Amino acid sequence: MNRRLLIVVLLLAALAALSSPSFGGNERVERTIRHEAQTRAGRPILVENLIGSLTVRAGETRGKTLVEARIVVEAESKDVARELAESIVLSTPSEDGRSTIRVGYPLERHSAFRLPRSEKDGFLDKWVTPFVRKSTVAAVYDGRTVEVGQAKGAAAIAVHLAVTVPLDVQVSCKQVVGSLHVVGVRGSFTLEAVEGQILAEQIYGALDVRTGGGEVLVRKFNGKEFRLQTGSGNVTLVEIQADQATLLASSGKIEGQAITTGKLDVDSGAGPVRLTDIDAESLTVDSESGAIDVAARITRTREASIQSADGDVTLRVNRTTPFELRAASEAGSVKHRDLAAEVVDEEKNSLHLVRGKGGAALSVTTGKGEVVVCSI
């Protein structure tokens, strides 16, 4: 074996040792704890977890809330890891008239936490690692300021919390860093993640989703009110039925498909907005700099306003429903095609179209972008 090959072999061996869970005393310990409590009718429930995952489902619980926490800990020795795992508890205080389920971490001994190395390449790695690799996430948890990321001396802990609730409940869920998944529930739900993924499926009732950064996917919601607010990360909505729906995003892409609502308000900062199969009585879409592409049925629509400060705007409508449309661009062109509508007035930067009588009042504007109005 020549000298260069020997060096390569030694480097590969060193890297393999570094990636091993036992390197540097990274001993792994798992522990599972369970809890159940009677759910009082009309009493809100608060569920909180710091790092890991939180899953909420509805089930036949005979009026109880069932909780299972799987704890994963790594430390320099089995004894230290075991002691750290034993320090994780489920706290169930009553606060502000709410029943609280909170994962208790040893905050008096540790102010910084990270994901265990053994969680790498798992489902958490896709959503959490990109955030905590870049920087440390700071948050207030259980009244104390904590950091999650690659801080020196951070305790390696992940808690995967599974909660089963009865139907018709009012629940607030907060996962500081990690994955939040709520599926097959009925009632009023508030979902919050500081950094991570939120996935909500088959929700009936009311839904309020908030995230600082990370992906959001909401699929099959049916209820009175749907509200979403995100700082960054992409948003995907599929089959939303609500009396009122509000979407607020600072950056990231918003995609929506099959949204039926009385009133739909979308306010986007830097990211693009793409909405298809939209059926809304009232529709407002605003974007600071992103492109907008909306395909709307307009069969029930009374009014719609779509505008972007800098981006291109495309509005697609069905071929037969009456409407009156006014479109304008300060610096770009305004085009229309395949609309079977009367052109009342048309210039390079403005357009006035009418089809039939008594239809929707449509307004499409942009500052620097191009406007295109066409058929679906």
pLDDT band at 128 (very low <50, low <70, confident <90, very high): low
Number of domains in the chain: 1
Q: For residue 230, is it within any domain?
A: no
Beta bridge partners of 342: 354
What's the alpha-carbon Rg for the chain, to the nearest Å? 26
Q: Check: CB of residue 376 under 8 Å from CB of residue 319.
A: yes
Q: Which two tokens stand for residue 281?
A: 């009585």
Residue 161 has pLDDT above 70, yes or no: yes
Q: For residue 150, is it within any domain?
A: yes
Residue 154 has pLDDT above 80, yes or no: yes
Q: For residue 270, is it within any domain?
A: no
Taking residues 126-153, report their average pLDDT.
78
Q: For residue 82, is it within any domain?
A: yes
Which DSSP category does 19 fall into? H
Q: For residue 178, is it within any domain?
A: no
- Give residue 95's domain range: 25-161
Residue 121 has pLDDT above 70, yes or no: no
Q: For residue 148, is it within any domain?
A: yes
Residue 50: closest CA among 228, 170, 210, 179: 179
Mean confidence (pLDDT) of the chain: 90
The b/e string for 252-269 (b: 16+ C-beta within 10 A; e otherwise) is: bbbbbbebbbeebbbbbb
Q: For residue 89, is it within any domain?
A: yes
Which DSSP category does 333 fall into? -
pTM above 0.85, yes or no: yes
Q: For residue 333, is it within any domain?
A: no
